[in-house]
Homo-oligomer: A and B are copies of this chain.
């Protein structure tokens, strides 16, 4: 537990000055330091297992190499986690580190989380949510480059870019997959309207029907919630005691857990999936969708991709922004602000259809 070696230790051991050490170790030795000294410095550094103190570096460079992430719930959900994982991988590949503050869905902790991060001199901020949702970005977020992942600020002048999944398209393509199998009577168990995800997916569903020239039977669209039990009961209402000819031939679910409930209900009723009823999920939840019986056809949320894309955009902004050093850059920062504003668009990432075994051709005669 002894202290780490500092540049001064290396300098002493090599018999040179700190500056020489700094130059050599940062690749600017040639032309500045005698090659004999260079070698001694390198040897000394290796011997002492030297690596620079990032804290000191941060102070000196006014650049911490830390990206702050505010999350409303890393904890319990694999969703957020995957977004953050995607973001972190990109950050790491560029020498940054991510510092996550979880507010555990307590909005009053938003500001203070950002404050804490800002005090620690993060170079940029990302706000990540578990479910797609609108929010008002904390005031103080504007002090550094920022981006939203899986959420968006619905105020017209918010000016913070966002990366979200293209839910409308996802809903449409999911529906189209079922239609391509011959299904026309497709029920949609659709979560609730507490987040925009379900409504948007429903929009996509309607779009698909419209494109196919088919009417939507409103009774087939039911916002039941997001969990297995609500999926179960929703499916029961749709299927139990209903004549085979009046059953929907496919049930599209707003997430995979609902789909599990639907499959449970089918089995309980002696119905085969997908022979009698096709069931489709959404999210492609890790270790859930792929190992179901039958394995779930689903629409994968591009979580890692969203995180990666958001971080890529964010780091580009960090690189572009006038390093915050007081290089009297009033003029340049004007230019930069314009750039930022223009790029403060919302980027939509496409969901990916994953075909497995829970969907099949429509039963004969339907």
Nearest CB in chain B: distance from A18 CB, A:
16
A54-62, A165-173, A211-219: which lies at the B interface?
A: A54-62
Identical copies of this chain, number: 2
B78 touches A76 (CB 8 A): yes
Q: In the bound complex, do residue B78 and residue A291 qualify as a contact, i.e. CB atoms below 8 Å apart?
A: no
Q: How far is the CB of A239 from chain B (nearest CB, A)?
A: 13
Which of B74, B143, B260, B337 contacts A4 (CB under 8 A)? Answer: B143
Chain B hits for A102, CB < 8 A: 85, 88
Q: Known interface pairs A81-B74, A143-B4. Does A292 touch B229 (Cβ–Cβ under 8 Å)?
A: yes
Task: Say if the beta carbon of A99 comes within 8 Å of chain B.
Answer: yes
Min Cβ gap A149→B in Å is 15
B3 touches A326 (CB 8 A): yes
Cα of A30 to Cα of B42 in the assembled complex, Å: 51
Verify B3–A54 contact, CB threshold 8 A: no
The answer for the CA separation of A100 and B69 in the assembled complex, in Å, is: 12
- Is residue A144 contacting chain B, with contact meaning CB distance below 8 A? yes
Residue A263 at the chain B interface, CB threshold 8 Å: yes
Selected contact of A118 from candidates B4, B143, B260, B292, CB within 8 Å: B4
Question: Nearest CB to that of A266 among chain B residues?
Answer: B267
- Minimum CB–CB distance from A365 to chain B (whole Å) comes to 24
* B59 adjacent to A55 (CB under 8 Å): yes
Of A56, A78, A82, A84, the most chain B CB neighbours within 10 A belong to A78
Please classify how large the interface on chain A is, using the bins under 10, 10 to 19, 20 to 34, 35 or more. 35 or more
Contact in complex: B76, A97 (CB < 8 Å):
no
Of A100, A143, A287, A293, most B-chain CB atoms within 10 Å:
A293
Give the contacting residue for A55; candidates B3, B55, B263; CB below 8 A.
B55
Please name all residues of chain B whose beta carbon is closer than 8 Å to the beta carbon of A51 when the two chains form the complex: 115, 119
- A120's closest neighbor in chain B, by CB? B54
A75's contact among B85, B227, B229, B295, by CB below 8 Å, is which? B85
Nearest CB in chain B to that of A77: its residue: B78
In order of increasing CB-CB distance, the 3 nearest A-B pairs are A267-B267, A227-B291, A75-B85
Interface residues of chain A, those whose CB is within 8 Å of chain B, are: 1-4, 51-56, 58-59, 64, 74-78, 81-82, 84-85, 88, 97-102, 104, 115-116, 118-121, 142-145, 227-230, 232, 257, 260-261, 263-265, 267-268, 270, 286-288, 291-293, 295, 321, 324, 326, 333, 337
Q: 9 interchain pairs (CB within 8 A)?
A: A4-B143, A54-B119, A55-B59, A55-B120, A74-B74, A76-B287, A85-B102, A228-B291, A230-B291
